Amino acid sequence: MKDLRIAVVPGDGIGVEVIREACGALDAVALASGKKITLTHFDWGADAYLKTGVTLPADGLRMLAESFDAILLGAMGDPRVPDNKHAADILLGMRFGLDLYVNHRPVKLLDARLCPLRNTEPKDVDFVVFRENTEGLYVMMGGNFKKGTPDEVATDIDLNTRKGVERIIRHGFEFARATGRKKVLMSDKSNVLIHAHDLWQRVFKAVKTEFPEITASHMYVDNLSLQLVRDPKQFEVIVTSNMFGDIVTDIAAGLQGGLGMAASGNIHPGKVSLFEPVHGSSPPLAGKNIANPIGAIATASMMLGHLGWNAESARIDAAVGEVVRAGQTTVDVGGSLGTRECAAAIMERLKAA
């Protein structure tokens, strides 16, 4: 199999610390398996923006698409940039500009101790959320009228296209079929968003007929939020819109032990895709060696799996699972180790594997 070329964008805050460890895990697993991964770092983020005024360089997207197999990103967000313009330009710029329409967020509990729910075992929390990633409320269309006056009007448009809705719903079913899962649930708010989410209803009904072996069901997103914390074992594959997916994947991260544990991929099948932990840059935790590196390391594993390095991905997952069960973790998930020490425990196992 060919060498991998990965573009690494650590970004801001704890992104820098956790991506350093994710890169260490990639190097370790490549070494152990006699393969080669080339990591090329880009300093895009708040520091570069404040120094140069540039968020995402003009030729950045073309360069990523032409020269790399995937992108590994830490987090964007810095209090010195109050509106976080650079975060929108860089992260959302890549999602939209590279047309990464699938936001794939696996939800897997590694140890019962990590779950805030009573009597919940790893087998009870094991599902995938596919979040639409290129439209919906994220298109930033809308405006203000009479801004700053008592008569101000403000709008943001929930933009849904048949093509956009159809491709994410189809991806959910295709993933279920390819991985032997039996259930796909679509979640919307079609009882109120009677135009945009009626489109989701109609497209879901049409697409599900192509997958007769899979049980298709629906929940309104408010009920889904309840059911996720009441009985998560009922879920296998969830497909939803951009904004609802943003919200329910934070709830889902909570089921796994918190944002520090959650991985994600922003994917366009067959094209260069972007992998990032679900957590943000968390400025108060930055620079203190306390951030949980597992979300970023699990994200690096997900990236390898996406690129066909299945054995290496499985090796990282096994090492992460062992470290979590041994309690060799950071404080947010009940351990007493620092970022570097938790990651070192994972890398020890990767070298031994």
Residue whose CB is less far from ligand IPM, 260 or 280: 280
Q: Is 189 a catalytic residue?
A: yes
Q: How far apart are CA 59 and CA 42, in angstroms?
A: 13
Give the nearest distance from C-beta 346 to ligand IPM in angstroms: 23
Catalytic residue among 188, 246, 317, 332: 246
Count the residues of the shown chain that bind ligand IPM, applying the rule CB under 6 A. 5
Site string for ligand IPM, 118-147 (x = CB under 6 A): ------------------------------
Q: Is 222 a catalytic residue?
A: yes
For ligand IPM, the binding residue among 69, 246, 317, 332 (CB under 6 A) is 246
Residue whose CB is less far from ligand IPM, 86 or 349: 86
Q: Give the three-state DSSP class for 321.
A: helix
Residue whose CB is less far from ligand IPM, 237 or 278: 278
Catalytic residue among 27, 47, 198, 250: 250
Q: How far apart are CA 318 and CA 314, in angstroms?
A: 6
Count the residues of the shown chain that bind Mg ion, applying the rule CB under 5 A. 1
Using CB under 5 A, which of the segments 22-30, 146-154, 246-254, 318-326 binds Mg ion?
246-254
Q: Of these partners, ligand IPM, Mg ion, none, which one is at the site of residue 188 (CB under 5 to 8 Å by kind)?
A: none
Give the nearest distance from C-beta 13 to Mg ion in angstroms: 15
Is residue 44 within 8 A of residue 60, CB to CB? The reply is yes
Q: Of these partners, Mg ion, ligand IPM, none, which one is at the site of residue 260 (CB under 5 to 8 Å by kind)?
A: none
Beta-sheet strands, E only, within 236-330: 237-240, 265-267, 273-275
Q: Give the three-state DSSP class for 205.
A: helix
Judging by DSSP bridges, how do beta strands 153-156 and 142-145 pair with one another? Answer: antiparallel
Is residue 147 within 8 A of residue 181, CB to CB? The reply is no
Catalytic residue among 189, 208, 317, 332: 189
Give the nearest distance from C-beta 295 to ligand IPM in angstroms: 12
Residue whose CB is less far from ligand IPM, 21 or 246: 246
Give the nearest distance from C-beta 87 to ligand IPM in angstroms: 6
Using CB under 5 A, which of the segments 44-52, 131-139, 201-209, 240-248 binds Mg ion?
240-248
| Residue numbers 260-279 binding ligand IPM by CB under 6 A | 278
Direct distance between the N- and C-terminal alpha carbons of the chain, in angstroms, rounded to an integer:
20
Exposed (0-12), middle (13-18) or buried (19+): which is 325, by Cβ within 10 Å? middle
Counting every residue written for the chain, the total comes to: 353
Amino acid identity, position 267? I
Q: Rule CB under 5 A: is residue 246 a binding residue for Mg ion?
A: yes
Element (H, E) at 131: strand 126-132
Give the nearest distance from C-beta 93 to ligand IPM in angstroms: 11
Q: How far apart are CA 55 and CA 70, in angstroms?
A: 20
Q: Which residues pair with 29 in a beta bridge?
A: none
Q: Name the residue with the smallest CB distance to Mg ion.
A: 246
Encoding tokens for residue 51?
């120094």
Q: Which residues pair with 337 in a beta bridge?
A: 330
Residue whose CB is less far from Mg ion, 276 or 312: 276
Q: How far apart are CA 155 and CA 140, in angstroms?
A: 10
Catalytic residue among 99, 156, 222, 231: 222
Site string for ligand IPM, 56-95 (x = CB under 6 A): -------------------------------x---x----
Is residue 139 within 8 A of residue 158, CB to CB? The reply is no
| Residue numbers 145-174 binding ligand IPM by CB under 6 A | none
Encoding tokens for residue 223?
């009920």
Q: How far apart are CA 219 and CA 227, in angstroms?
A: 9
Amino acid identity, position 35? K
Exposed (0-12), middle (13-18) or buried (19+): which is 143, by Cβ within 10 Å? exposed
Enumerate binding residues for Mg ion (CB under 5 A). Answer: 246
The contact set with ligand IPM (CB under 6 A) reads: 87, 91, 246, 278, 280
Which residues are designated catalytic? 138, 189, 222, 246, 250
